[in-house]
Amino acid sequence: MRQVNLGIIGAGTVGGGVVQALERNGALMASRLGVRLHVARVAVRDLKKKRGVSIPQTILTTDVGSVVNDPEIDLVVELIGGTTLARTLTLDALKQGKPVVTANKALLSAHGEELFAAAEQFGANLYYEASVAGGIPIIKVLREGLIGNRITRIYGIVNGTCNYILTRMKLEGADFADVLADAQRLGYAEAEPSLDVDGYDAAHKTGILASLAHGFWVNPRDIYVEGIRNITKLDIRFATQLGYTIRLLGIVKKIAPAKGSPKGESQIQVSVYPTLVPDSHVLASVNDVFNAIYVRGDVVGDTLYYGRGAGQDATASAVLSDLADAALDLKCGKSRVPPFVPHERKGAVLKMDDIICRYYLRLTVVDKPGTLAKIAAILGEASIGISSVIQPEGHEGKSVPLILMIHDAKNSAMRGALAKIGRLGVIKAPPLMIRVENFD
């Protein structure tokens, strides 16, 4: 049986999981593929570190370059994270014609186009199933399963850490900082957890999904990003009272061309922000570290993909899928599915200011006559309608939360109105705005 020698770079949460999963199911995979996957070299930062998986000292090294350049290594598996060394070693491997498997969404978001071009130039493939949504095979879904569809909507819960935090804040009333520490301990969070809680990890993933769905590589700078840091238990409580659950959503929407726009120019919304999801919608019941991606195609209609979005085993499962594809490509001597096929050169990302949606507003106001009138006047001047109001009783003369649900309005109009509201003397803390999704 043919053997493919793996050079695994990084043996932390994901790399360790891959070694473990290969020990467990390597023979099964060999019988399914007709190719044996052999862990030949493993690069780490610290040789003395205690690991959850046993790796023979003879194959361990700290010299990343020696793994990439070793002529015995057929396939490089990049699992160190970051965008500097990871980019260099991925390019070095591709230049030698060696295929690379990566779980690194930050790398793809920042350097995807360069890496795909190198893959094409040097005839080596790049595989990245584990980069989005942990164990859910969503890259395969978009690139293969739904290839005959125009994708009109993607709504994704794609960050396990944020979903875990929001779920525990809602169900247990837990504190943000405590739950984040648990997510780190469980191996869900990035080495730099602000990538998770400030929405950037979800943006990297949403950009990858948008690019695959719409055929032009989305520049991460064009993605509007808000994280979950400002969401409080109070917002979660009011959202529940109003029949909603707060989720960090990656949203990719094809927007009908505005009147007078050049023919054929497609515009898409690509954004990540905390969203009020109606409790009746399936995404509202996706809890803990689970991810779910709702994809609408013009032929298939609505589809949903669900599974663990982070953590050792879920991510290892996605890496194994890429290892299998890479091994089969090596066996048959060609890359059967290229990493990314650009096909929509004219695509453009719609500016956030132009996006129209509904909103939840939490204002901290002084409960005194005229407060609501002043706020309503500013919203009215901007032609922004209020659909409902909640203010807890019994706070006369004192600070109180005032919750306003707002009808459809342009983001630019809301931003302008909120700036004015924030300057009112009756406003005692910066206003908080959360967008509401109606999944039309």
Q: Three-class SS of residue 25?
A: helix
Q: Can you state the angle between helices 160-172 and 233-241, rounded to 10 degrees?
A: 70
User: CB neighbours of 394 closer than 8 A, spacing ≥ 6?
Assistant: none
Which amino acid is residue 323, in one-letter code? L
Taking the complex as a whole, how short is the minimal distance between the CB of residue 89 and ligand NAP, in angstroms? 9
Residues contacting ligand HSE: total by CB under 6 A: 11
Q: Three-class SS of residue 216?
A: coil
Binding of residue 188 to ligand NAP (CB under 6 A): yes
Among 10, 156, 207, 347, binds ligand NAP (CB under 6 A): 10
State how far the Cα of 332 lies from the Cα of 338, in Å rounded to an integer.
15
Nearer to ligand HSE, 157 or 432 (CB): 157
Binding of residue 294 to ligand NAP (CB under 6 A): no
- Whether residue 86 contacts residue 104, with contact meaning beta carbons closer than 8 Å, is answered with yes
Binding of residue 7 to ligand HSE (CB under 6 A): no
Taking the complex as a whole, how short is the minimal distance between the CB of residue 323 and ligand HSE, in angstroms? 18
Q: Which does 161 bind (CB under 5 to 8 A by kind): ligand HSE, ligand NAP, none?
A: ligand HSE
Letters for 123-142 (x = contact with ligand HSE by CB under 6 A, - = none) are -----------x--------
Letters for 87-126 (x = contact with ligand NAP by CB under 6 A, - = none) are ----------------xx----------------------
Q: Which does 211 bind (CB under 5 to 8 A by kind): ligand NAP, ligand HSE, none?
A: none
Q: Which of residues 38-77 bind ligand NAP (CB under 6 A)?
A: 43-46, 49, 62, 64
Q: Which does 94 bind (CB under 5 to 8 A by kind): ligand NAP, ligand HSE, none?
A: none
CA angle 124, 122, 33 (to 5 degrees): 15
Q: Which of 134, 150, 143, 131 is nearest to 90 (CA)?
A: 131
Q: Which does 347 bind (CB under 5 to 8 A by kind): ligand NAP, ligand HSE, none?
A: none
Q: Which of residues 307-326 bind ligand NAP (CB under 6 A)?
A: 310-311, 315
Q: Which does 80 bind (CB under 5 to 8 A by kind): ligand HSE, ligand NAP, none?
A: ligand NAP
Q: State both tokens at 111.
A: 């350097």
Taking the complex as a whole, how short is the minimal distance between the CB of residue 80 and ligand HSE, in angstroms? 14
- Three-state SS for 295-363 is EEECCCEEEEEEEECCCHHHHHHHHHHHHHHHHHHHHHCCCCCCCCCCCCCCCEECCHHHCEEEEEEEE
From first CA to last CA, the distance across the chain in angstroms is 52
State how far the Cα of 183 lies from the Cα of 197, in Å rounded to an integer.
11
Among 116, 188, 216, 244, binds ligand HSE (CB under 6 A): 188
Q: State both tokens at 330.
A: 């090596």
Binding of residue 196 to ligand HSE (CB under 6 A): yes
Q: Which of 252, 268, 260 is nearest to 158 (CA)?
A: 252
State how far the Cα of 84 lies from the Cα of 103, in Å rounded to an integer.
15
Chain residues binding ligand NAP by CB under 6 A are 10-15, 43-46, 49, 62, 64, 79-81, 85, 103-104, 130, 134, 187-188, 190-191, 310-311, 315
Chain residues binding ligand HSE by CB under 6 A are 134, 159-161, 188-190, 196, 201, 309-310
